[in-house]
Amino acid sequence: MAKAKQPNPKQPNPRFQRIRATIMSIPRSHVSSYGAVARAAGIPRGARLVVRTLSQSEGLPWHRVVAAGGRIAIPGEGGLDQRFRLEMEGVKFSGKKVRMAEFEYQFPRKKAAKHKNRSTGEKQKAAANQRKKRES
């Protein structure tokens, strides 16, 4: 039976690196959700990967990442510690949830590359224009 290829511990996974960089970009007194961090890192539907990255990394502002809707998903004392750290940064809560409308960090949108997608009608017009140029 063939062994599964193990990742090289000297070279970190590029997805983990993108997630770490995204988390580090969240400013003080702001929060983001696991899913929003994943989307900003270019990994749609990667919220669980964000959780894994946070659990395996040190030195990240882990307390600035919350569950959807501003809920603190860490149970027990860890959740109390997260809330305390956020309150020390000035983040306000409404019950057990962060006031996301006020304190959610909006990641800058990446500019999409311009594609020259033409509809069939546009392609026909462009071809007709090229024929006219050749004829004249």
The alpha carbon torsion through 86, 90, 96, 97 (nearest 10 deg) reads -90
Higher pLDDT, 3 or 67: 67
Q: Which two tokens stand for residue 94?
A: 């409404």
**Kind and range of the H or E element at 59?**
none
- Confidence band (pLDDT; 50, 70, 90) for 97? very high
**How far is residue 68's CA from residue 37's CA, in Å, rounded to a whole number?**
11
Domains of the chain with CATH codes: 14-109 (1.10.10.10)
Q: Work out the percent of the chain whose per-residue pLDDT is above 90.
A: 68
Q: Which two tokens stand for residue 37?
A: 């961090």
Give yes or no for residue 16 having a pLDDT over 80. Answer: yes
- CA 28 to chain centroid, in Å, comes to 17
Q: Which two tokens stand for residue 116?
A: 């020259």
**How far is residue 107's CA from residue 99's CA, in Å, rounded to a whole number?**
17
**How far is residue 131's CA from residue 127's CA, in Å, rounded to a whole number?**
6
Report pTM.
Answer: 0.73
